[in-house]
Amino acid sequence: MIPPTGAAPQAGPVRGQPHVVLGPKSTGLGSGPSAPRGAPRPRPPATGADDLSKDAGEIELSEADREALAREVADLEAFRDLATSITANAKGEALLQALRVAFDKAAELGAPRKAIIFTESRKTQLYLQRLLADSPWHDGIVLFNGSNADERSRAIYDDWKARHDGTDRISGSRSADMRAALVDWFRERGTILIATEAGAEGINLQFCSLVVNYDLPWNPQRIEQRIGRCHRYGQQHDVVVVNFLNLKNAADQRVFELLSEKFRLFEGIFGASDEVLGAIESGVDFEKRIAAIYQQCRKPDEIQTAFDQLQLELDFEISDTLNRARRQLLENFDDEVRDKLRVRDESTRAVLNRYERRLMALTRFELGDAATFKSEGAFELHRPPPGVDAPAGLYELPRRAGEAHLYRLGHPLAEGLIARAKERELPGADVVLGLDYTGHQGRISILEPLRGRSGVLRVSCLTVDTLGQAEDHLMVTAVRDDGEPIETEAAERMLSIAGQVEPARGQRLLDEGETRVRLLGAIERASRTAEAAVRRSISERSARVFEAEAEKLDGWADDLKLGLERELKELDRQIREARRGAVAAVALEEKLAAQKRMKALESERNQKRRSLFDAQDEIDRQRETLITRLEAQLEQKVTNECLFTVSWRMV
């Protein structure tokens, strides 16, 4: 517990960790710059009812209206006087005391002296920076927000780029690299990271074990995201969560009660609140319901009644029925539906996309015992494979955690493993690809009719070369043992489930004979159908590109012609005026000047006319170039290379 002066601490397990609630009782209005430390602000000139009556002009006010306005002005002046009389922020003082006690306790437990402080606004973030500037930890403070444009952040970023120049740590995205630089600095040298809501997503702080919610959101999902930044894989210490509670505000107390007891954000094991958070349709809706209570309820009994009703509704929503529904969702829905809904098993908090899963599956197979896989997105490389220039160590998908190597398709290790896999020979006639659908976690409805069946599967690389630009398309085609083709989507999904290459036993589908001829003929027809579909897709895409280019060309041509025509009309008008001026001129000098002006305008008009014709010629040339390019795209060089053909059976 960390009991500051005038606070009422409450302690309990926070996901298996200590929990602290801080609540200053002294007079303080809010936090951040609204209640700064230091001298009072200058007092503005008073405004009374007489001043208002002067500004009112011709508006007639009754005596009752004047009295009401006077009372309102008096209330506003009282609020102003109260605000300007505050010279110290009790909430800020409580934060300093909490950090001192927490850091001392962390030192006793062997945990690092690091804390992340979450706040709702940039102004409060800057206030906390000023507040902590005089603390013992001022040298270790770093800000984390959406822009990261302050001087220290830029210096940290420049130093980080210089240290990692030429390595795979630099992704090329300034925003991603800036975030990585700040997290690295906080891990290596920092003590306190002051983050706005931008820091609640996308960064891993498992090396930090103290989370301070200086501003506590009403949205429980945002609180869960904050805690999850530190309480994740690799955390070696209990995570302490510090919240601030105004003990004089009944509404604040009931909000904290809901967050703590009903949503169980600060108790149980990591992930226990997942089911509860899933019970409410939207954290934003819950936040709006809380805001409505604050706006509409003024008396303590009104506040209690409103929160009692909200709590009853939550009790109904957070029920065993919803938990059962979630389990059924995990067990019975297709993998595609689960991916779209982003429903996750409790064994992982990271959602890998299809390409990342495929890359990690290939990496796991190719490395074998040369690496230890710590999770779906991380592995420890013990020794690099022969011929691959990659250092040993920890590799992770782009999640920006720790000193891990950033593993992606363009990494030398990934490129080497892919190249080696592409060169491997598969003895298709002597083996059978056994697919274990029964052991697959989840459901793929399109594959269920294939359970207990067998057939032939082919993977081909279709290369379409147009104007020297080649596109590679991986085609997966399959047929059943009776020769019936399998849909392309189902054929691709067959390779998404676990399986192993087994020695062929009994009759071999690809042996010489009638069966071989029939099945190979069926797979050839399926492959040609798939090739036609790919080429049709490329043609449709090219047609859309051509149409878009033609529309841009037509738009440019119309704008150009309209602009020149407007200029010609304006020149015609000026020439007519100059001609009238020449006729009306009396002196010889005036007539001569008018004639010269007419000649200059006519010369300019002739030039504009030539420009209009030239522009039309240029438009025709560009249109001809576009048509020629489209014709060239029709002359495609297509290569269909069979990578392997193998028998399969699914159990």
Rounded to an integer, the average pLDDT of 35-47 is 42
Q: Tell me phi and psi for residue 510, to 5 degrees.
A: -100, 15
630 compared with 423, residue with greater pLDDT: 423
Query: Residue 322 has what pLDDT?
Result: 53
Q: Which segment of 192-206, 357-371, 504-518 scores lowest on mean pLDDT? A: 504-518
Domains and CATH numbers, the chain: 319-349 (no CATH), 354-423 (no CATH), 431-536+639-650 (no CATH), 541-635 (1.10.287.1490)
The tokens describing 448, both together, are 């269920």
Cα–Cα dist 400/180, whole Å: 6
> Is residue 505 scored above 70 in pLDDT?
no
Q: CA of 285: how far to CAs of 394, 405, 650, in Å?
A: 41, 40, 46
Can you say whether the dihedral through the CA atoms of 302, 303, 308, 310 is positive or negative?
Answer: positive
Strands 393-396 and 378-381: antiparallel
Cα–Cα dist 71/374, whole Å: 68
Residues 594-630 have pLDDT tens digits of 888 888 888 888 888 887 788 778 778 877 777 777 7
Cα–Cα dist 603/595, whole Å: 12
**294 contact partners, CB below 8 Å, separation of at least 6:** 251
> Is residue 161 scored above 70 in pLDDT?
yes
> Is residue 13 scored above 60 in pLDDT?
no
| Inter-residue contact 178 to 153 (CB < 8 Å) | yes
pLDDT band at residue 74, thresholds of 50, 70 and 90?
A: very high
Which of 14-18, 218-222, 254-258, 578-582 has the highest mean predicted lDDT (pLDDT)? 578-582
**402 contact partners, CB below 8 Å, separation of at least 6:** 187, 204, 206, 207, 234, 394, 396
Query: Residue 365 has what pLDDT?
Result: 87
**E strands within 382-468?**
393-396, 405-406, 431-435, 454-466
Crossing angle (nearest 10°) for helices 151-163 and 174-188: 90
> Is residue 194 scored above 90 in pLDDT?
yes
Q: What is the pTM of this model?
A: 0.43
Q: Which segment of 92-106, 263-277, 542-556 scores lowest on mean pLDDT? A: 263-277
Rounded to an integer, the average pLDDT of 533-549 is 79
Rounded to an integer, the average pLDDT of 560-571 is 79
**Residue 244 parent element (H or E):** strand 240-244
Rounded to an integer, the average pLDDT of 79-88 is 83
Percent of the chain with pLDDT over 90: 6
3-class DSSP state of 245: coil
Strands 393-396 and 405-406: parallel
